[in-house]
Amino acid sequence: MRGFIVMAMFVVSLAQADSKEYTEVRDLALDSAGLAEFVIDAGAGSLVITGVDGARDITVTATIVIEDKNEEAAQKVIAKRLDLKLERDGDRAKLESGFTSGWGWAGNARIDLDVRMPAGLALQVDDGSGSTTITGVTADVLVDDGSGSVQVTTAGSVTIDDGSGSITVSDASGDVYVNDGSGSIDIRGVGGSVRIDDGSGSIKIDDVENDLIIVDDGSGTVTYTNVRGAVQLDD
């Protein structure tokens, strides 16, 4: 038994010593003068977005992580597969972040994004996988998320279309609409109405100025408090 334990520890040590992960950080910036909307199209990786009062620029810190590759192999992947750019398109800013697919590419990579933007700029996010955290964007926020948790704090109107993962929305001055496949939903502090179309997972609602409508709640408990408008629950 003792010999088995020693051998197991030795195997783990070898695996750790043999593991590879290449990391590279890139910074992007764009003048926000004349912009009305910021659109983000992101693949795998975490996404943190912060609205900043008085900010004149959109700034992005992108941490590129490629697993199971040494530096030389990772650089080849980046040269061939990386799609990372921040550009102006009329009155919109567009951030694209991800890796293109292709033969021989296993896709074991991600880009973690830390974004700072003017607080009053409307935001639209299309995210593949990974957690999404949005704070202080006082304009309208739209999130289309494949998988991973979504948290929105202090916003205008909020629209979330989510495949799976928990959803938290707090301090939204406008309406909140959530279309969710699975995962818990927690919404509090809404200045408008709340509408939820949910597949599965618990739902908690608190402090809604207008109406609450929950359509097609597949499974999971529903609790609500301090809703000052009408409540409609369609199971």
Query: Containing domain of residue 65, as a range?
Result: 20-120
Residue 58 lies in a domain: yes
- Between the alpha carbon of residue 146 and those of residues 75, 107, 121, 129, 217, the distances in Å are 28, 16, 23, 6, 19
For residue 180, pLDDT over 90 is answered with no
Is residue 36 located within the same domain as residue 110? yes
Model confidence pLDDT, tens digit, residues 5-42: 333 333 333 333 445 789 999 999 999 999 999 999 99
What DSSP character marks residue 72? H
Counted domains in the chain: 2
What local confidence, expressed as pLDDT, does residue 58 receive? 98
Is residue 185 located within the same domain as residue 107? no
Half-sphere exposure of 224 (CA within 13 A, CB side): 26
Residue 105 lies in a domain: yes
What local confidence, expressed as pLDDT, does residue 19 receive? 52
Identity at 24, one-letter amino acid code: E
For residue 1, pLDDT over 70 is answered with no
pTM: 0.89
Is residue 146 located within the same domain as residue 189? yes
One DSSP character per residue, 216-227 reads: ---BS-EEEEEE
Is residue 231 located within the same domain as residue 174? yes
Calpha distance 68→18 (Å, rounded): 9
Element (H, E) at 147: strand 141-147
